[in-house]
Amino acid sequence: MTDLRHHRVSVNRIKLHYVEAGAGPAVVLCHGFPELWYSWRHQLHALAQAGYRAIALDMRGHGESDAPIKIEDYDVCQTVGDVIGLMDLLGIDRAALVGHDAGTSTVYHAALMRPDRVRGVMGLSVPYVPRGPLSVLDAFDDTVPDGFYMHYFQKPGVAEQDLERDITESLRRLIYANSGQNPQAPFTMTVPEGSTLVDELPAPDGPMHFLSEADLSVYSTAYSRTGFRGGLHGYRVFQRNWELTAAWHDMALPVPAAYVGGALDTVLQFPGFRTAAEAMGRATFLDGAGHWVQAERPDEVNEALLSFLDSLPS
């Protein structure tokens, strides 16, 4: 990893940390929760070797980037502003955007709001679902089990206290439970009354084939410094994001798009999500893979990503 370049810059009224590799057309990588720029470690080198300038952010609230306190500081207008502001600072006129998990909200909305700056967009795990008549939380009310994790995350302080009791163990269980290595995959995270999320997550009985102890230590060290508040605030703006994006209601993505997901990813079990993924044009489903698809199956993800990037008009 010695060819990676780390930077910390002022963008959109906060300090953003990002890591880059290579030179050429820009590809901006936006991670999800609970993740970091490090989630793109396999893609950074592949992109650089293929002649691209790969830029992986620590999204606001994560890693070495600033973590504002207010919930509204994590809405989609702010995170899109971070991406476009960083592109402005670096003199990048147009870039391809790639998002995983919560990072897909940022890259899809960047494409909607600023199609003049986006060459194309790829989503991992979470497909593009056009804004509907209800927010995600409201739409899920009657279709998900009681204690669904997105609802559990809504009250400030509750999930923070749970996840921060033992940060390394929380991360180990979150990552394993949602991976294809979990025999229970696809695993739906729910919290029965009186319990906690971490207590309900299965623990691996051995090493994870896609995440070494050294890898886990990178995440644990980062979250020991920041806590989980920033990432959880990203779930607490779902209703606000729906309200802010009324102007893009039911709008199709205005740029070329592609999708890669693990067939055992719980996200693809959400109502309508598999159909939405298939509608994205270039859609790849990897058998045996779970939520962390770019780490679980890096070679196939890199192949699909480079094929998509090579197809984009200059």
Q: Kindly list the catalytic residues.
A: 101, 291
Q: SS3 string of 20-75? A: EECCCCEEEEECCCCCCHHHHHHHHHHHHHCCCEEEEEECCCCCCCCCCCCHHHHC
Of 249, 233, 155, residue with least CA distance to 197 = 155
The packing angle between helices 103-113 and 76-89, to 10°, is 70
Q: Which two tokens stand for residue 115?
A: 């199609």
CB-based burial label for 116 (10 Å; 0-12, 13-18, 19+): exposed
The Cα 121–Cα 128 span in angstroms is 10
Q: How far is CA 265 from CA 23, 146, 161, 188, in A?
A: 33, 20, 26, 9
Residue 256, Cα to own-chain centre: how many angstroms? 19
Of 232, 286, 241, 246, residue with least CA distance to 67 = 232
Three-class SS state of 97: strand
Which amino acid, residue 96?
Answer: A
The Cα 199–Cα 137 span in angstroms is 23
The packing angle between helices 167-177 and 213-226, to 10°, is 120
Q: Which two tokens stand for residue 113?
A: 């709001």
